[in-house]
Structure 1
């Protein structure tokens, strides 16, 4: 595997690589306009060139009549943020919510354990940034997760000593907050996705804040991920690319990792590749990192020019775990665990994503029931909003508090939610009394509502 190029300036090799390259795609790709009579259509075959676009357009999961009808319906949204404004068919969904998707960052949480235990400040950043990269194998799935209902939650236990709680804290705009913790770290995130629909693709901007605190030395790490482009939504085989920079900063010491995700070029050239450096607070490169976000990452000490130090070798720090073969939704073993009640605590909150009837029906393969249940939940959500507005009341999240902090991100300002600690108290009380209850958790009715049909404890 080739090491990154020389660090020509404080911007490293990234400045040279990104000049002339747009954030969302390489000039190597060409749009195919007017293809099959559809104005403004773009079809990109990641394994080929522009001459393959017409053939590629005929592929994908859609039947032709469904594809044609959906294209006509969606054209009016071109250029718009479609995060929550469009009712989408369940054929494009996976049996998971965005809250569960947030929990997928915990699969390789052992890397944060290693970062906490590490004495070397630069290797600490190697472990932490590898953890941030590790989730991208799961993020390449081309199915859409369900948007959470306001007040919906997701709990995860029985994984590496980690306790995870996420809650949908806002419906417009859609926002989620999450908190995870074990003996080595705490993880806190406020997430607000912003999108731009481009016809046959959508740009996804991660307007969020992710903070990790390593407990041993109370080191605080901030993460800014790259944006993502989902290609061939309707015509062709859907695929995901995330060209751009991931920046991880140690706010305590000033050390930083900058990793560049290569854009996919002709015949898949550069796809999945990640290269970058760990810099000290003086912005001098200390360790180079290279690999593929769908396979593995390696590291090697380097000099001030970014060249590998003599008598050192490239060492692997992370490798993707084995995955099920021919899985319908491209799930990892960990993704299946996220839907399982085996990873759920006793006395699971009735607002938990596992209990959603539309998600559960899709998991069982019943698309018709999933679609009707999804419509029913959306109508209940609208009814609760009307009832709340009639009372002149506002929704108040249960496990997270809205702070006064508004932080800038590369894609807009973000209101920050903070974990309020109440979940730990709730979980301790629930666990202590769990032996008194023989309720089958799978029989619990999904209930995120705080107005009207109020949530049970």
Structure 2
């Protein structure tokens, strides 16, 4: 493995259809993919007409829809496009952004191993492999639903983990999440900033991700690189994320810097990840290499970053099997967290799984999904009018806005903190549900802080 350099990057979004004759589709599908962190193939940017038509069919686009959405998006050049327009349901997958956040927990056993490990460098090998593991899930073509303000997602049936996420802001769109088991706590405030540049879009991650390993109280901070979508109008659209993924041990000063190789022509270099674990003195101790869609391995290295003679690469993580020809390219874990059958008892009425638009799309009823989505968005606007009329501010239920402002290269971030109330709530529910069973499917989706919103 060659020594990584600072010009290397990564790509984990998918390619979507393009070609000059289909420039409307290219613009819309690419922007939508960015808003949902997803994508499938990064390929030859020139592409071909047949490939573009095939991608368009997969996207369910009609010619008049492509043209109308290009006209709509054209006026937003230079703007942040994360929440400017109402998008059609035909480009969505039956999952919300809050559920997508929970997909990071699929390989949470790597954080358990990091907590159990005494070697500070190996801790970073396990923890950074966990951070890489979600990229396979982030490759999907479809866009997740934007959560309604106050919407939640909870998971209590995976590896002893309790996970809760909540939409804490509508403008700008922000989510907060917390996960915990006996080995670690995970806290994230998620926010994106985008800039439309005509034939490309820049995406800047303003979020903050922290993992605390419970045995020693070690705190890990994760910073992903920005992303760029190229050839929105001319040529075949492709996406790359030049830069670094950096995970820092804030307690000891050790860190891991991973370089995701930029995707070259015909996909050369795609999936490949290389980097080093450094001690607090910034000396390379372990090299890491692999592919984010396959596996990651590590090996001791010398001060020059070369493998130590007599040592071998050791695999630390490998991708689990995934369903073949799945309609939405879901993993088995994605199906699990999306299923109402695996939902916890006494599911919160604000939970994403209860959204009628999501459920209708899952059943293949696009017409009903679109109507339900419009209804939810109108109720959200109505609630906003109620709050403004009463002079009230929205207050998240499970997270509190702190006084901390985190500076990032792309802007400041307001940080939300888990308040512990969900842990108390779930414990009480679990005690009562031993004798009081309920039908989750009969629960009506209700994230609203004000009732009777449909009466207006």
> Do these two structures clear the TM 0.5 threshold for a shared fold by scoring above it?
yes
Alignment partners' CA distance in 2, 1:124 and 1:153: 31
Cα distance per residue 1:175-204 (max 9 Å; x no partner): 110000000000000011112234565433
Q: CA deviation at 1:273?
A: 1.2
For 2:449, the equivalent position in structure 1 comes to 450
Distance 1:350 1:290, change over 3 A: same
Matched, 1:58 2:49: no
Determine the C-alpha separation between the residues in 1 that align with 2:114 and 2:452: 45
User: Cα gap change, 1:295/1:232 in structure 2, threshold over 3 Å: closer, same or farther?
Assistant: farther
Q: How far apart in 2 are the matches of 1:41 and 1:190? A: 30
Tell me how far apart the structure 1 counterparts of residues 25 and 452 of structure 2 sit (CA, whole Å): 46
* Cα distance change of structure 1 residues 360 and 37 upon mapping to structure 2, 3 Å threshold: closer
Is it true that 1:14 corresponds to 2:9 in the alignment?
no
User: Against the structure 1 CA distance between its residues 54 and 76, is the aligned structure 2 distance closer, same or farther, given a 3 Å change threshold?
Assistant: farther
Structure 1 residues 153 and 432, CA, compared in 2 at 3 Å: closer, same or farther? Answer: same
Q: Which residue of 1 aligns with 2:2?
A: 4
Distance 1:364 1:235 in 2: 35
- CA deviation map 1:381-401 (0-9, x unaligned): 000000000000000111000
CA contact (8 A) 2:149 2:170 kept: yes
Equivalents in 1 of 2:227, 2:94: separation in Å? 21
After superposition, residues 16-55 of structure 1 pair within 5 angstroms as 17-18=7-8, 35-36=20-21, 46-48=42-44, 50=46, 52=47
**CA 1:235–1:271: 2 relative to 1, 3 Å:** same
1:298 and 2:297 are equivalent in the alignment:
yes
Match of 1:77, SS state, is coil
Report the Cα offset of residue 168 of structure 1.
0.5
**1:156-167 to 2 correspondence within 5 Å?**
156-167=155-166
- Alpha-carbon deviation of 1:85? 1.4
Pairwise CA RMSD? 2.7
Q: Which runs of 5+ in 2 are unaligned?
A: 13-17, 31-40
1:188–1:212 Cα contact (<8 Å) kept: yes
Deviations 1:36-72 (A, max 9, x none): 496997899943353x355544342223332223222
| Structure 1 unmatched ranges of 5 or more | 6-12, 26-31
The 1:349–1:385 alpha-carbon spacing in structure 2 relative to 1, beyond 3 Å, is same
Contact 2:11 2:261 in 1 (8 A): no
Alignment size in residue pairs: 434
**Residue 361 of structure 2 corresponds to residue 362 of structure 1:** yes
Q: State how far apart, in whole Å, the 2-side matches of 1:433 and 1:40 are.
A: 51
The aligned runs of 1:8-407 (5 Å cut-off) are: 13-15=4-6, 17-18=7-8, 35-36=20-21, 46-48=42-44, 50=46, 52=47, 56-60=51-55, 61=59, 62-198=61-197, 202-230=201-229, 240-407=239-406
Q: Distance in 1 between matches of 2:361 and 2:242?
A: 31
User: SS of 1:324's equivalent?
Assistant: coil
Q: 1:196–1:121: structure 2 CA closer, same or farther, 3 Å change rule? A: same
What CA distance in whole angstroms lies between the structure 1 residues aligned with 2:310 and 2:227?
38
Question: Normalising by structure 1, what TM-score?
Answer: 0.89
CA distance in 2, matches of 1:295, 1:381: 41
**1:358/1:219 Cα in 2 relative to 1: closer, same or farther (>3 Å)?**
same
1-side partners of 2:246 and 2:73: how far apart? 34
The 1:402/1:120 distance shift into structure 2, 3 A limit, reads: same
For residues 343 and 370 of structure 1, do their structure 2 counterparts lie closer, same or farther at Cα, with a shift above 3 Å needed? same
Q: Deviations over 1:259-310 (max 9, x none)?
A: 0111111111111111100000011100001111111111111000000001
Change (3 A) 1:367 1:39: closer
